[in-house]
Structure 1
Amino acid sequence: MTIRSTLLLALIALAASQGASAATVTLDVRGPDGRPLADAVVMIDVPGHASAVPQGPYVMEQKAIAFQPHVLVVPVGASVSFPNRDTVRHHVYSFSKAKRFDLKLYGREDQRSVVFDKPGVVALGCNIHDTMSGFIIVSASPFTGRTNAAGHLVVADVPPGPARLTVWSPAIRQPDNMAAQMIVVPAGGVAKTIAIGR
Protein backbone atom coordinates (compact mmCIF):
# COMPACT_ATOMS: atom_id res chain seq x y z
CA MET A 1 0.00 0.00 0.00
CA THR A 2 1.40 3.40 -0.97
CA ILE A 3 1.76 6.35 1.40
CA ARG A 4 -0.90 8.20 -0.60
CA SER A 5 -3.47 5.41 -0.23
CA THR A 6 -2.65 5.03 3.48
CA LEU A 7 -3.18 8.76 3.96
CA LEU A 8 -6.46 8.59 2.05
CA LEU A 9 -7.69 5.72 4.25
CA ALA A 10 -6.71 7.68 7.36
CA LEU A 11 -8.66 10.72 6.13
CA ILE A 12 -11.72 8.58 5.38
CA ALA A 13 -11.53 7.04 8.86
CA LEU A 14 -11.18 10.50 10.41
CA ALA A 15 -14.16 11.83 8.48
CA ALA A 16 -16.22 8.80 9.48
CA SER A 17 -15.36 9.20 13.15
CA GLN A 18 -16.20 12.91 13.04
CA GLY A 19 -19.54 12.13 11.43
CA ALA A 20 -20.32 9.38 13.93
CA SER A 21 -22.70 10.10 16.76
CA ALA A 22 -21.19 11.08 20.09
CA ALA A 23 -20.93 8.50 22.84
CA THR A 24 -21.53 8.51 26.58
CA VAL A 25 -18.75 7.37 28.89
CA THR A 26 -19.94 6.21 32.32
CA LEU A 27 -17.21 5.87 34.94
CA ASP A 28 -16.95 4.53 38.47
CA VAL A 29 -13.64 5.42 40.13
CA ARG A 30 -12.37 3.35 43.07
CA GLY A 31 -9.48 4.24 45.36
CA PRO A 32 -6.64 1.95 46.48
CA ASP A 33 -8.92 0.57 49.22
CA GLY A 34 -11.60 -0.32 46.66
CA ARG A 35 -14.03 2.31 47.94
CA PRO A 36 -15.64 4.97 45.73
CA LEU A 37 -13.30 7.90 45.13
CA ALA A 38 -15.18 11.18 45.49
CA ASP A 39 -13.90 14.46 43.98
CA ALA A 40 -11.63 12.65 41.52
CA VAL A 41 -11.25 14.57 38.27
CA VAL A 42 -11.45 12.62 35.01
CA MET A 43 -10.18 14.09 31.73
CA ILE A 44 -10.79 12.39 28.39
CA ASP A 45 -8.46 13.79 25.72
CA VAL A 46 -9.58 13.06 22.17
CA PRO A 47 -6.92 13.63 19.46
CA GLY A 48 -7.77 16.49 17.12
CA HIS A 49 -10.74 17.70 19.16
CA ALA A 50 -11.14 21.39 19.98
CA SER A 51 -10.30 22.65 23.46
CA ALA A 52 -12.93 23.44 26.07
CA VAL A 53 -14.42 26.94 25.96
CA PRO A 54 -14.97 28.87 29.22
CA GLN A 55 -18.66 29.46 29.92
CA GLY A 56 -18.67 30.26 33.65
CA PRO A 57 -19.25 31.70 36.06
CA TYR A 58 -16.59 29.81 38.03
CA VAL A 59 -16.53 30.42 41.78
CA MET A 60 -14.25 29.24 44.59
CA GLU A 61 -15.77 30.55 47.84
CA GLN A 62 -14.12 30.92 51.20
CA LYS A 63 -16.87 29.86 53.58
CA ALA A 64 -16.79 28.32 57.08
CA ILE A 65 -12.98 28.66 56.95
CA ALA A 66 -12.79 26.33 53.93
CA PHE A 67 -12.58 26.48 50.16
CA GLN A 68 -15.93 25.54 48.65
CA PRO A 69 -16.00 23.47 46.55
CA HIS A 70 -12.89 21.63 47.69
CA VAL A 71 -12.20 20.71 44.04
CA LEU A 72 -13.22 22.98 41.15
CA VAL A 73 -12.87 21.98 37.48
CA VAL A 74 -12.44 24.78 34.91
CA PRO A 75 -11.35 25.01 31.26
CA VAL A 76 -8.18 26.77 30.17
CA GLY A 77 -8.82 30.52 30.00
CA ALA A 78 -11.46 30.54 32.74
CA SER A 79 -11.75 33.47 35.13
CA VAL A 80 -12.42 32.23 38.67
CA SER A 81 -13.81 34.52 41.35
CA PHE A 82 -12.77 34.06 44.98
CA PRO A 83 -15.51 35.63 47.16
CA ASN A 84 -15.00 35.77 50.91
CA ARG A 85 -18.21 34.66 52.68
CA ASP A 86 -16.57 34.50 56.12
CA THR A 87 -16.54 37.15 58.85
CA VAL A 88 -12.72 36.96 58.91
CA ARG A 89 -10.21 38.02 56.29
CA HIS A 90 -8.44 35.61 53.93
CA HIS A 91 -5.20 35.71 51.97
CA VAL A 92 -5.50 33.18 49.11
CA TYR A 93 -2.41 31.98 47.25
CA SER A 94 -0.95 29.25 45.05
CA PHE A 95 2.63 28.30 44.24
CA SER A 96 1.59 25.73 41.61
CA LYS A 97 3.36 25.48 38.24
CA ALA A 98 0.06 25.85 36.37
CA LYS A 99 -0.71 29.16 38.11
CA ARG A 100 1.10 31.19 40.75
CA PHE A 101 -0.86 34.01 42.38
CA ASP A 102 -1.22 35.88 45.66
CA LEU A 103 -4.49 37.55 46.68
CA LYS A 104 -3.65 39.81 49.61
CA LEU A 105 -5.92 40.09 52.66
CA TYR A 106 -9.54 40.84 51.90
CA GLY A 107 -12.69 40.76 54.00
CA ARG A 108 -16.29 39.59 54.04
CA GLU A 109 -18.27 39.90 50.79
CA ASP A 110 -15.20 41.18 48.97
CA GLN A 111 -13.79 39.11 46.13
CA ARG A 112 -10.86 38.79 43.75
CA SER A 113 -10.59 37.05 40.35
CA VAL A 114 -7.82 35.09 38.65
CA VAL A 115 -7.57 33.89 35.04
CA PHE A 116 -6.22 30.34 34.65
CA ASP A 117 -4.43 30.28 31.31
CA LYS A 118 -2.54 26.95 31.46
CA PRO A 119 -3.73 23.38 32.03
CA GLY A 120 -2.71 21.68 35.27
CA VAL A 121 -3.45 21.30 38.95
CA VAL A 122 -3.54 24.44 41.10
CA ALA A 123 -3.29 23.80 44.84
CA LEU A 124 -4.80 26.57 46.99
CA GLY A 125 -3.95 27.76 50.48
CA CYS A 126 -4.65 30.64 52.85
CA ASN A 127 -1.80 32.50 54.54
CA ILE A 128 -4.01 33.17 57.57
CA HIS A 129 -5.65 29.74 58.00
CA ASP A 130 -3.23 26.84 57.53
CA THR A 131 -6.03 24.25 57.61
CA MET A 132 -7.59 25.63 54.42
CA SER A 133 -6.77 23.74 51.24
CA GLY A 134 -8.44 23.35 47.87
CA PHE A 135 -7.72 22.53 44.25
CA ILE A 136 -8.55 24.00 40.87
CA ILE A 137 -8.08 21.56 37.99
CA VAL A 138 -7.57 23.42 34.72
CA SER A 139 -8.32 21.23 31.71
CA ALA A 140 -8.05 21.75 27.96
CA SER A 141 -10.43 18.87 27.31
CA PRO A 142 -14.18 19.57 27.06
CA PHE A 143 -14.71 15.99 28.28
CA THR A 144 -13.76 16.61 31.90
CA GLY A 145 -15.69 16.16 35.11
CA ARG A 146 -15.55 15.43 38.82
CA THR A 147 -16.84 12.27 40.48
CA ASN A 148 -19.69 12.50 42.98
CA ALA A 149 -19.72 11.04 46.51
CA ALA A 150 -20.29 7.58 45.02
CA GLY A 151 -17.22 7.91 42.75
CA HIS A 152 -19.54 8.11 39.74
CA LEU A 153 -19.28 10.34 36.67
CA VAL A 154 -21.07 10.46 33.31
CA VAL A 155 -19.30 12.24 30.43
CA ALA A 156 -21.58 12.90 27.45
CA ASP A 157 -20.92 13.65 23.78
CA VAL A 158 -17.47 12.01 23.59
CA PRO A 159 -16.43 11.32 19.97
CA PRO A 160 -15.97 7.57 19.36
CA GLY A 161 -12.43 6.34 18.85
CA PRO A 162 -9.10 6.31 20.70
CA ALA A 163 -8.66 8.67 23.65
CA ARG A 164 -6.43 9.21 26.65
CA LEU A 165 -8.20 8.97 30.01
CA THR A 166 -6.50 10.70 32.96
CA VAL A 167 -7.67 10.61 36.57
CA TRP A 168 -6.48 13.08 39.21
CA SER A 169 -6.93 12.70 42.96
CA PRO A 170 -4.76 13.35 46.02
CA ALA A 171 -5.32 9.64 46.77
CA ILE A 172 -3.28 8.66 43.69
CA ARG A 173 0.33 8.01 44.72
CA GLN A 174 1.87 8.76 41.35
CA PRO A 175 3.58 11.86 39.91
CA ASP A 176 1.21 14.86 40.00
CA ASN A 177 -1.41 12.60 41.66
CA MET A 178 -2.46 11.40 38.20
CA ALA A 179 -3.02 8.03 36.55
CA ALA A 180 -3.52 7.73 32.78
CA GLN A 181 -4.48 5.03 30.30
CA MET A 182 -5.44 4.77 26.66
CA ILE A 183 -9.01 3.74 25.92
CA VAL A 184 -11.18 3.24 22.85
CA VAL A 185 -14.63 4.79 23.07
CA PRO A 186 -17.16 2.67 21.14
CA ALA A 187 -19.88 4.45 19.15
CA GLY A 188 -22.46 2.98 21.53
CA GLY A 189 -20.67 4.37 24.60
CA VAL A 190 -18.93 2.54 27.41
CA ALA A 191 -19.25 1.92 31.14
CA LYS A 192 -15.95 1.45 32.95
CA THR A 193 -14.70 0.97 36.49
CA ILE A 194 -11.30 2.50 37.19
CA ALA A 195 -9.42 1.05 40.14
CA ILE A 196 -6.60 3.31 41.33
CA GLY A 197 -3.46 1.75 42.76
CA ARG A 198 -4.22 -1.85 41.86
Structure 2
Amino acid sequence: MKTLAAIILLLLTATHVVAGDLTVSVRDAQGRPVRDAVVTVHPAAGVRGPVRFSWPLRISQQDMQFQPYVLVAPVGQAVSFPNLDRVRHHVYSFSRGNRFEIELYGRDETRSHTFRSTGVVAIGCNIHDQMLVYVRVVDTPYAAKTGANGDVVLQDVPAGAATLRVWHPNLNVRGNETSRQITVAAAAGRQSVSGDFSGRASVR
Protein backbone atom coordinates (compact mmCIF):
# COMPACT_ATOMS: atom_id res chain seq x y z
CA MET A 1 0.00 0.00 0.00
CA LYS A 2 1.53 3.28 -1.12
CA THR A 3 2.04 5.70 1.73
CA LEU A 4 0.23 9.00 1.47
CA ALA A 5 1.07 12.12 3.42
CA ALA A 6 -1.90 14.28 2.66
CA ILE A 7 -4.01 17.29 3.34
CA ILE A 8 -7.74 16.83 2.84
CA LEU A 9 -9.42 19.70 1.06
CA LEU A 10 -13.17 19.74 1.52
CA LEU A 11 -15.05 21.76 -1.06
CA LEU A 12 -18.59 22.23 0.20
CA THR A 13 -21.49 23.66 -1.77
CA ALA A 14 -25.15 23.88 -0.79
CA THR A 15 -27.42 24.68 -3.74
CA HIS A 16 -30.92 24.80 -2.21
CA VAL A 17 -32.51 26.50 0.78
CA VAL A 18 -34.16 23.41 2.25
CA ALA A 19 -31.77 20.74 1.00
CA GLY A 20 -28.65 20.93 -1.11
CA ASP A 21 -26.01 18.89 -2.86
CA LEU A 22 -22.78 18.77 -0.89
CA THR A 23 -19.60 18.31 -2.92
CA VAL A 24 -16.49 17.11 -1.10
CA SER A 25 -13.06 16.92 -2.71
CA VAL A 26 -10.26 14.97 -1.06
CA ARG A 27 -6.73 15.85 -2.20
CA ASP A 28 -3.26 14.99 -0.96
CA ALA A 29 -0.49 17.46 -0.19
CA GLN A 30 0.55 17.55 -3.85
CA GLY A 31 -3.00 18.25 -4.99
CA ARG A 32 -3.58 14.72 -6.24
CA PRO A 33 -7.01 13.11 -5.68
CA VAL A 34 -7.46 10.55 -2.90
CA ARG A 35 -9.87 7.77 -3.79
CA ASP A 36 -11.85 5.49 -1.45
CA ALA A 37 -12.25 8.13 1.25
CA VAL A 38 -15.66 7.66 2.85
CA VAL A 39 -17.53 10.91 3.47
CA THR A 40 -20.57 11.00 5.75
CA VAL A 41 -22.84 13.80 6.90
CA HIS A 42 -24.88 13.46 10.09
CA PRO A 43 -27.52 16.22 10.39
CA ALA A 44 -28.03 17.51 13.92
CA ALA A 45 -31.77 17.00 13.44
CA GLY A 46 -31.20 13.30 12.74
CA VAL A 47 -32.41 11.16 9.84
CA ARG A 48 -35.68 9.37 9.19
CA GLY A 49 -36.54 6.08 7.56
CA PRO A 50 -34.32 3.23 6.37
CA VAL A 51 -30.98 3.97 4.75
CA ARG A 52 -30.68 2.83 1.13
CA PHE A 53 -27.93 3.27 -1.45
CA SER A 54 -27.93 2.94 -5.24
CA TRP A 55 -24.76 0.84 -5.52
CA PRO A 56 -24.65 -2.97 -5.10
CA LEU A 57 -23.97 -4.25 -1.60
CA ARG A 58 -21.52 -6.76 -2.96
CA ILE A 59 -17.84 -7.63 -2.43
CA SER A 60 -16.51 -9.95 -5.10
CA GLN A 61 -13.50 -12.20 -4.74
CA GLN A 62 -11.71 -12.06 -8.07
CA ASP A 63 -8.07 -12.36 -9.14
CA MET A 64 -7.19 -13.11 -5.52
CA GLN A 65 -8.46 -9.72 -4.37
CA PHE A 66 -11.61 -8.31 -2.84
CA GLN A 67 -13.43 -5.85 -5.09
CA PRO A 68 -14.14 -3.07 -4.31
CA TYR A 69 -11.46 -2.16 -1.80
CA VAL A 70 -13.91 -0.01 0.21
CA LEU A 71 -17.69 -0.45 0.40
CA VAL A 72 -20.21 1.85 2.11
CA ALA A 73 -23.14 -0.19 3.47
CA PRO A 74 -26.21 0.62 5.57
CA VAL A 75 -26.41 -0.91 9.01
CA GLY A 76 -28.74 -3.91 9.17
CA GLN A 77 -28.51 -4.84 5.49
CA ALA A 78 -26.84 -7.89 4.00
CA VAL A 79 -23.69 -7.73 1.89
CA SER A 80 -23.02 -10.56 -0.56
CA PHE A 81 -19.61 -12.17 -1.10
CA PRO A 82 -19.52 -13.97 -4.47
CA ASN A 83 -16.42 -16.05 -5.19
CA LEU A 84 -15.34 -15.60 -8.82
CA ASP A 85 -11.94 -17.24 -8.38
CA ARG A 86 -10.95 -20.80 -9.18
CA VAL A 87 -9.83 -21.33 -5.59
CA ARG A 88 -11.78 -21.39 -2.35
CA HIS A 89 -11.84 -18.46 0.07
CA HIS A 90 -12.47 -18.14 3.79
CA VAL A 91 -13.83 -14.68 4.67
CA TYR A 92 -13.54 -13.31 8.20
CA SER A 93 -13.35 -10.19 10.37
CA PHE A 94 -12.26 -9.51 13.93
CA SER A 95 -13.70 -5.97 13.96
CA ARG A 96 -15.51 -5.07 17.18
CA GLY A 97 -19.27 -5.29 16.87
CA ASN A 98 -19.10 -7.00 13.49
CA ARG A 99 -17.06 -10.16 14.01
CA PHE A 100 -18.02 -12.88 11.57
CA GLU A 101 -16.68 -15.83 9.60
CA ILE A 102 -17.69 -17.39 6.30
CA GLU A 103 -15.91 -20.71 6.00
CA LEU A 104 -14.37 -22.08 2.82
CA TYR A 105 -16.50 -21.92 -0.31
CA GLY A 106 -15.67 -22.23 -3.98
CA ARG A 107 -16.02 -20.73 -7.42
CA ASP A 108 -19.40 -19.33 -8.47
CA GLU A 109 -20.73 -19.69 -4.94
CA THR A 110 -22.05 -16.74 -2.95
CA ARG A 111 -22.40 -16.16 0.76
CA SER A 112 -23.76 -13.11 2.57
CA HIS A 113 -23.49 -11.40 5.94
CA THR A 114 -25.58 -8.74 7.66
CA PHE A 115 -23.68 -6.05 9.54
CA ARG A 116 -25.55 -5.16 12.73
CA SER A 117 -23.34 -2.35 14.09
CA THR A 118 -22.10 0.89 12.61
CA GLY A 119 -18.38 1.37 12.21
CA VAL A 120 -15.50 0.08 10.12
CA VAL A 121 -15.22 -3.62 9.33
CA ALA A 122 -11.79 -4.82 8.18
CA ILE A 123 -12.20 -8.09 6.28
CA GLY A 124 -9.62 -10.61 5.14
CA CYS A 125 -9.28 -14.09 3.73
CA ASN A 126 -7.94 -16.69 6.13
CA ILE A 127 -6.19 -18.47 3.24
CA HIS A 128 -4.78 -15.54 1.24
CA ASP A 129 -3.21 -12.88 3.45
CA GLN A 130 -2.93 -10.26 0.70
CA MET A 131 -6.71 -9.99 0.42
CA LEU A 132 -8.14 -7.04 2.32
CA VAL A 133 -11.38 -5.04 2.13
CA TYR A 134 -13.11 -2.46 4.29
CA VAL A 135 -16.85 -2.02 4.85
CA ARG A 136 -17.91 1.31 6.31
CA VAL A 137 -21.24 0.56 7.97
CA VAL A 138 -23.32 3.74 8.34
CA ASP A 139 -26.66 4.90 9.71
CA THR A 140 -27.02 7.98 7.50
CA PRO A 141 -28.19 8.19 3.88
CA TYR A 142 -25.73 11.03 3.29
CA ALA A 143 -22.69 8.85 2.71
CA ALA A 144 -20.50 7.83 -0.22
CA LYS A 145 -16.85 7.32 -1.13
CA THR A 146 -14.61 9.37 -3.36
CA GLY A 147 -13.87 8.12 -6.85
CA ALA A 148 -10.66 8.26 -8.87
CA ASN A 149 -11.05 12.04 -9.13
CA GLY A 150 -11.15 12.42 -5.35
CA ASP A 151 -14.65 13.89 -5.42
CA VAL A 152 -17.99 12.82 -4.01
CA VAL A 153 -21.43 14.45 -4.17
CA LEU A 154 -23.95 13.89 -1.39
CA GLN A 155 -27.40 14.76 -2.67
CA ASP A 156 -30.26 16.53 -0.89
CA VAL A 157 -28.48 17.09 2.40
CA PRO A 158 -30.86 18.98 4.74
CA ALA A 159 -29.96 22.56 5.55
CA GLY A 160 -28.77 23.24 9.06
CA ALA A 161 -26.12 22.10 11.48
CA ALA A 162 -24.40 18.79 10.77
CA THR A 163 -21.26 16.78 11.39
CA LEU A 164 -19.07 16.04 8.38
CA ARG A 165 -16.74 13.04 8.68
CA VAL A 166 -14.02 11.72 6.40
CA TRP A 167 -12.62 8.20 6.87
CA HIS A 168 -9.82 6.43 5.01
CA PRO A 169 -7.90 3.28 6.01
CA ASN A 170 -4.58 5.16 5.79
CA LEU A 171 -5.62 8.29 7.67
CA ASN A 172 -3.18 8.30 10.58
CA VAL A 173 -5.48 9.51 13.36
CA ARG A 174 -7.53 7.65 15.91
CA GLY A 175 -10.16 5.61 14.13
CA ASN A 176 -8.75 6.69 10.74
CA GLU A 177 -11.37 9.44 10.74
CA THR A 178 -11.51 13.20 11.00
CA SER A 179 -14.63 15.28 11.59
CA ARG A 180 -15.84 18.86 11.66
CA GLN A 181 -19.05 20.75 12.39
CA ILE A 182 -20.65 22.46 9.41
CA THR A 183 -23.78 24.43 8.57
CA VAL A 184 -25.05 23.16 5.24
CA ALA A 185 -26.93 26.32 4.26
CA ALA A 186 -23.74 28.37 4.72
CA ALA A 187 -21.26 25.79 3.45
CA ALA A 188 -20.51 27.34 0.06
CA GLY A 189 -16.83 27.91 -0.58
CA ARG A 190 -13.73 26.04 0.51
CA GLN A 191 -12.85 24.48 3.83
CA SER A 192 -9.79 22.40 4.67
CA VAL A 193 -8.90 19.70 7.18
CA SER A 194 -5.30 18.56 7.53
CA GLY A 195 -4.59 14.84 7.73
CA ASP A 196 -1.75 12.34 7.70
CA PHE A 197 -2.20 9.34 5.40
CA SER A 198 0.97 7.52 6.48
CA GLY A 199 -0.89 4.81 8.42
CA ARG A 200 -0.96 1.22 7.21
CA ALA A 201 -4.16 -0.57 6.30
CA SER A 202 -4.70 -3.78 8.26
CA VAL A 203 -7.28 -6.49 8.74
CA ARG A 204 -6.78 -6.36 12.51
What TM-score do you get using the length of structure 1 for normalisation?
A: 0.83
The answer (yes or no) to whether the contact 1:93–1:102 under 8 Å persists in 2 is yes
Tell me which protein shows more helix as a share of its residues: 1
Q: For 2:175, what is the secondary structure of its paired residue?
A: helix
Partner of 2:5: none
Q: CA deviation at 1:120?
A: 0.3
What TM-score do you get using the length of structure 2 for normalisation?
A: 0.81
1:71-122 residue CA offsets vs partner (Å, 9 max, x unmatched)? 0101111100101000000000000013100110000011111001111000
Structure 2: 5+ residue stretches without partners: 1-16, 197-204
Partner of 2:35: 38
Looking at structure 2, the residues matched to 179 and 30 of structure 1 have their Cα atoms a distance apart, in angstroms, of: 14
Looking at structure 1, the residues matched to 37 and 188 of structure 2 have their Cα atoms a distance apart, in angstroms, of: 19
Looking at structure 1, the residues matched to 120 and 110 of structure 2 have their Cα atoms a distance apart, in angstroms, of: 22
Q: For 1:176, what is the secondary structure of its paired residue?
A: helix
Q: CA deviation at 1:191?
A: 5.3
Q: Which has the larger radius of gyration?
A: 1
1:109-149 residue CA offsets vs partner (Å, 9 max, x unmatched)? 11111001111000010011000000000000110000011
Once the two structures are superposed, the pairs formed by residues 99-138 of structure 1 within 5 Å of their partners are: 99-138=98-137
Q: For 1:30, what is the secondary structure of its paired residue?
A: coil
User: What amino acid sits opposite 1:44 in the alignment?
Assistant: V
Q: CA deviation at 1:180?
A: 0.6
% identity of equivalent residues? 44
Moved more, 20-29 or 53-62: 53-62
Looking at structure 2, the residues matched to 196 and 87 of structure 1 have their Cα atoms a distance apart, in angstroms, of: 43
Once the two structures are superposed, the pairs formed by residues 20-169 of structure 1 within 5 Å of their partners are: 21-31=18-28, 34-47=31-44, 48-50=46-48, 52-54=50-52, 57-169=56-168
The answer (yes or no) to whether the contact 1:26–1:192 under 8 Å persists in 2 is no
- Report the aligned-residue RMSD: 1.9
Structure 1: 5+ residue stretches without partners: 1-19
The answer (yes or no) to whether the contact 1:34–1:195 under 8 Å persists in 2 is no
